[in-house]
Amino acid sequence: MPQKPDLPNPKPESRRVGYAIVGIGKLTADELIPAARTSENSYVAALVTSEEDKGEAFARAFDLSDRDVYTYDQFEELADREDVQAVYIVLPNSMHREYVERAAKMGKHVLCEKPLGMNADDARQIVAACKKARVKLMTAYRCQYTPEHWAARDAVQGGRLGKVKLLDSIHTQVETDATAWRMKQDLAGGGPLPDVGIYSVNIMRFVLGTEPEWVFAALHQPKSDPRFREVEESVAFTLGFPGGIMATGLTSYGAAKTTTLRVLGEDGSLLMDPAFPYDGLKLQLTDEAGTHQPSFPEYDQFTQEFNHFSRCILEGGTPWTPGEEGVADHVVMDALYESARTGKVVTLKSSRKKDASRGPDKPQLPGK
Ligand code: NAD
């Protein structure tokens, strides 16, 4: 039974954006519902779930009524709920497109979990559906809303490390449940790469602000292990960015939890370790003056995302990580799978514009 947290709701509901959260899995229960309660401009107005009982238990614990709980079949009834301006899709990856399209048709703005779709074509359809319906779409890339990742980006782009040469990033974890949707190709669209390796790809692109020109990858899939009958266990990859910058990544469902990002320049380096958990991020900068570990204010990554998307809705902005940013990662990941399949380097036709797939409205960082 969910516990009711003792957290404030700072503004009256009429001045905040109401969200319907679709899918009450671990992320929704442990992170998103509590995070919305500390948001300055967002609140959870409804829940959409396959299990009505579970939805009702959560509703009661979070000051919603049973009438705020909808089954997947009742999703379209949200059209009549004026207090629901946005829908947050937190479902297995293969279900993102269907629910984004259904939400957009109702005129609701959409915040969608990563990866945006199953592949670049699927993600492009998601973007097109939201454009057609004239609703806003944000890909939930929480690491582009943290002060630590922005400090890393500022160090890279502000010249503190000198000319940047190399990056590396690891995101691994051990998955034990062979029956989980994450292990089914038709539900997940791949293994660790679109689930956790995506963080490495996304943050490398974010700190540089450019897109890879070529990629190369190899993967390992031990099909005799029931967990890896359908998806890979591990991927090792290289991305070639403009100016000869090379980045390597490792991702796996078979290696102990590790999340790192390192950037090496001519005059210095930075290390984030850990780089991708929900809290406790650590950034270390090394330059001619020595090694320095900056400190940052306390904040919640999911609250940051709610605040940003709601601000875009209330003030008419474009999210920093719109649907196009989700497509851009899929383009890279599709090319990585192609490279692993063919054993060849895959070249990409990327825009040369800085932050080409990001919105103009930068997130407000805590303490600023
Ligand atoms: P989960 O397995 O915990 O929950 C998934 C939800 O979908 C549940 O409500 C479940 O009942 C429902 N569901 C509907 N059809 C299902 C099916 N066929 N199989 C399994 N569940 C089904 O998943 P999750 O970890 O909450 O992941 C959901 C989405 O959120 C994914 O896209 C994932 O990549 C993303 N995610 C993001 C983060 C992050 O840090 N941003 C963390 C975890 C998950």
Q: What is the CATH number of the domain that holds 179?
A: 3.30.360.10
Verify that 102 and 167 share a domain, yes or no.
no
Q: How many CA atoms lie within 13 A of 27 on its CB side?
A: 17
Domain that holds residue 186: 146-295+323-347
Instruction: Round to whole Å and give the CA distance between 61 and 41.
Output: 21
Question: pTM of the predicted model, to two decimals?
Answer: 0.96
Give the whole-number percent of the chain exceeding pLDDT 90: 89
Verify that 181 and 238 share a domain, yes or no.
yes
pLDDT at 105: 98
pLDDT at 51: 86
Atom number, ligand 1, closest to the C-alpha of residue 26? 3
Instruction: Round to whole Å and give the CA distance between 237 and 169.
Output: 10
**3-class secondary structure, 171:** strand
Pocket of ligand 1 (CB under 6 A): 23-27, 49-50, 90-93, 113-114, 140, 142, 181, 187, 195
Verify that 177 and 53 share a domain, yes or no.
no
pLDDT at 55: 86
Q: 159 in a domain, yes or no?
A: yes
Verify that 340 and 203 share a domain, yes or no.
yes
**Tens digit of each residue's pLDDT (9 = 90 or more) over 19-78:** 999 999 999 999 999 999 999 999 999 999 988 888 888 888 888 999 999 999 999 999
**Tens digit of each residue's pLDDT (9 = 90 or more) over 67-107:** 999 999 999 999 999 999 999 999 999 999 999 999 999 99
Beta bridge partners of 322: 138
Q: Which residues are catalytic?
A: 114, 199
Q: Is the pLDDT of residue 5 over 80?
A: no
pLDDT at 350: 76
pLDDT at 216: 98
Q: 357 in a domain, yes or no?
A: no
Contacts of residue 113, defined as CB under 8 A and 6 or more positions apart, other chains included, come to 27, 88, 89, 90, 91, 96, 140
Verify that 104 and 193 share a domain, yes or no.
no
If you average pLDDT over every residue of the chain, what do you get? 95
Contacts of residue 218, defined as CB under 8 A and 6 or more positions apart, other chains included, come to 235, 236, 237, 340, 343
SS (H, E, C) 84-130: CCEEEECCCHHHHHHHHHHHHHCCCEEEEECCCCCCHHHHHHHHHHH
Q: Is the pLDDT of residue 146 over 70?
A: yes
C-alpha 158 to ligand 1 mean position (Å): 37
